[in-house]
Structure 1
Amino acid sequence: GRIERRRGEHHRLAAAWNLRDLREEIQNLLVNAPPALAPDAARAVARLGNPRLIESLASRGATLQLRVATTAALFEFDPAIAAPLTAKIFHEKLSPSEIEILMAEVALRDGGSKHLAGALAGMKIPGETALHATRLLDVSGKKHPGLTAALAKAGELKPLPPDLNPQDRDALLARISDGNPGRGRAVYERAALACMVCHRIGSEGGIIGPDLSSIGASAPPDYLLESLLSPSEKIKEGYRMSVITFKNGNVVSGAINRETRDALVLRSAFGRETRIPRKDIASRETSPVSMMPGGLVAGLREDELVDLLAYLSSLGRTTKD
């Protein structure tokens, strides 16, 4: 809540001002920090001169939350050390938010993507983890072909190709009338797909992407299929992604959530907010890439995709349609 956000800001300021007398207090808090606060506390401890403690906790921390936070913080100081620890954590059952904490640092830091691709060589990780990590790369504002390929191999992903031939596309569309909208709704609401983070249906969901409450009445099935397979080809006006380049060369991307005279808040495609001081920004551009990841339906079976399309096609339609 608001208190946790303020405490996180205090930790960032303590690190920025090099207030070493607060180091012990922050170190003690780090071990018992709530999830929202742990990443900031870990970075503050490392910046205040104790990266070795962070490395030790990343390797042997008592909780998964602590290992995720400290491993993410390590990318700022040594991606070569952080990458193998990330690959090891990827073997565990991670929530989408834990994957996002790690991948935000991988995509942001110089060498992070390359080192993690190397660390994943020859390894096997859960398909859901590989898929979510790949989606995050898709909307990071940069290309990561090496890491994308490494994640696909480690997670044994077999993505549905965006360039289905006309016969396969027509065959899939022909099955929609036999699809099950109820099962499709369950697919839509899966946390791993994160549809509800961005899109609203009725009174539920996010506002980063277009409202889907009546999408079935306004968009034909072939348009919906194209939007799922190749979202960057079908970007609705007003929902384009912003790419922010920092003066140090780092890049982040997302939707501008709010702005003040001194800073802006960027919200990622998966709902994570980042406050960016204007003094740190070198450039701000509108990306031709959709905030909706290209591999969104890569992990679905064909029957699940058919059910999802049946559900979306039903939205806003009356029984007479």
Structure 2
Amino acid sequence: MGKLIDGVWHDVWYDTKSSGGAFKRSEAAFRNWITADGSAGPSGEGGFEAESGRYHLYVSYACPWAHRALIFRALKGLSDHITVSAVHPDMLSDGWHFGTDFDDATGDTLYGLPFMRDVYLKALPDMSGRVTVPVLWDKQRETIVSNESSEIIRMLNSAFDGITGNTDDYWPADQRGAIEEVNARIYDTLNNGVYKAGFATTQSAYDAAIHPLFDTLDWLEQRLSTSRYLMGDKQTEADWRLFTTLIRFDPVYHLHFKCNRARIIDYPNLWAYTRDLYQTKGVAETVKMDHIVRHYHYSHESINPHRILPINPVLDYLAPHGRDPMA
């Protein structure tokens, strides 16, 4: 994953030498919000009113952050209102690209651009920063609304309710403080923790990441022994933020990122919970395991220099999960 500097592409990986071998994730550059009436959100500027057909999602089916947005698009009945372009799973010297020689890689269906960086440059010609997905694009203003997945899913959670009539709420006001606490631990030690382990370039950086990661999996296993979902008997955004890591863990992170003390299938509650979420209406269609396996093993040359794709375990996500109802 390279980056733009003053509008010019540079093929440079994350600098782990300056951080003692530790992987440090970059901050999102675009932080505007779609709102029901177009008023400004918690950050950025206003003018992004929820309208059917106005917005477009650029995603990678391989990327867990983009996967969050795809899941919320499905859960909230937005498939007919927000269009999608999916990049090719291979992310090489030019970053994310719009090749179409892989199943479900759509190309750039809005502008026919060759690279994801070109979308960023269309919004900001002198852009400096990483070129990431997801990107929520405004077709009307021809600019990026947001490239912060945690905020995109909150927009999708509520901004379009008046259009779709879908009022399912995955960010309920009375649970927000508790959800934020759970999100914070899961993000630091697990969502991002797998990357901190996998991209570590020193033993000490790996050790610092891997032990908190499995401490969190142990904690989640215990939490899910008495609760169907993380916050009780109803799904919240915390579940979906966790799910995109769990669904990738055994096929990718266990081997590729050396997160190999245990697999998700070794945790009875976590494995059943993963299947429960996978079987939620509309979710299975967002999981493209061929993109996931191909992207990680083929794109990360520093980890897998010969780009050999593993055979991988056969996992039955449709097996009965037994978590409905729970005592």
Instruction: Name the TM tier (shorter chain).
Output: under 0.3
Q: Over alpha carbons, which structure has the higher Rg?
A: 1
Give TM-score, length-normalised by structure 1. 0.26
Structure with the largest fraction of helix: 1
Higher relative contact order (CA 8 A, sep 6+): 2
